[in-house]
Amino acid sequence: MTNEQKLNIVAETTTYMKDKGLSLNELCRQTGINVGYLSPMLRGTFTIPVKDKTVELDDKWFLQLAAFIGLSMQKTYWETLSTRQFVLQIAALKNAKETGKTAMIIGSTGVGKTKNTDVFCHKMPLHTYRVTVSSLYKLVDIVTELTELLGLEFASINSARIQTNSVKIRVDKIVAKLKEIKRNGGNPIIIFDEGENMEMSVLKMLKGLYDALKDHCAIVVIGTEQLLNKLLNLRKRNRDAIPQLYRRFKAGLVTLPGINKEIDFAVFYDKYCIEKPLRNLLTRICDNYGELNDYLEAAMREADRTGEPLTEQLFRKMFTVPQ
Q: State residue 74's pLDDT score.
A: 82
Cβ atoms of 140 and 202 closer than 8 Å? no
Cβ atoms of 221 and 192 closer than 8 Å? yes
How far apart, in whole angstroms, are the C-alpha atoms of residue 94 and residue 100? 10
Look at residues 31, 23, 5 and name the one whose alpha carbon lies nearest to residue 184. 23
Can you name the residues that pair with 47 across neighbouring β-strands?
A: 56
Element (H, E) at 57: none
5: exposed, middle or buried (Cβ count in 10 Å: 0-12, 13-18, 19+): middle
Q: State residue 50's pLDDT score.
A: 87
Q: How many helices (H) and strands (E) does the chain have?
A: 16, 7
Cβ atoms of 261 and 286 closer than 8 Å? yes
Q: Which residues, given as ranges, of the chain have pLDDT below 50?
A: 155-162, 164
Element (H, E) at 72: none
Q: Are strands 53-56 and 218-223 parallel, antiparallel or unpaired?
A: unpaired
Q: State residue 156's pLDDT score.
A: 46
Q: Would you identify the CATH topology of the domain 3-69?
A: 434 Repressor (Amino-terminal Domain) (1.10.260)
Q: Is 273 helix (H, G, I), strand (E, B) or coil?
A: coil
List own/partner pairs for 306-315 with CB under 8 A and 24 or more apart: 310/274, 310/275, 310/278, 311/275, 311/277, 311/278, 312/275, 312/277, 312/278, 312/281, 315/278, 315/281, 315/282
Element (H, E) at 141: helix 139-149
How far apart, in whole angstroms, are the C-alpha atoms of residue 288 and residue 44? 44
Q: 0.85 exceeded by the pTM?
A: yes
Average per-residue pLDDT in the chain? 93
Cα Rg of the chain (Å, integer): 23
Look at residues 308, 306, 307, 314 and name the one whose alpha carbon lies nearest to residue 296. 314
CATH architecture of the domain formed by 84-255 = 3-Layer(aba) Sandwich (3.40)
How far apart, in whole angstroms, are the C-alpha atoms of residue 41 and residue 103? 38
- Secondary-structure percent of the chain, ordered helix, strand, coil, rounded to 5: 60, 10, 30
Would you kindly state where each structural domain of the chain is located, as residue ranges? 3-69, 84-255, 261-319
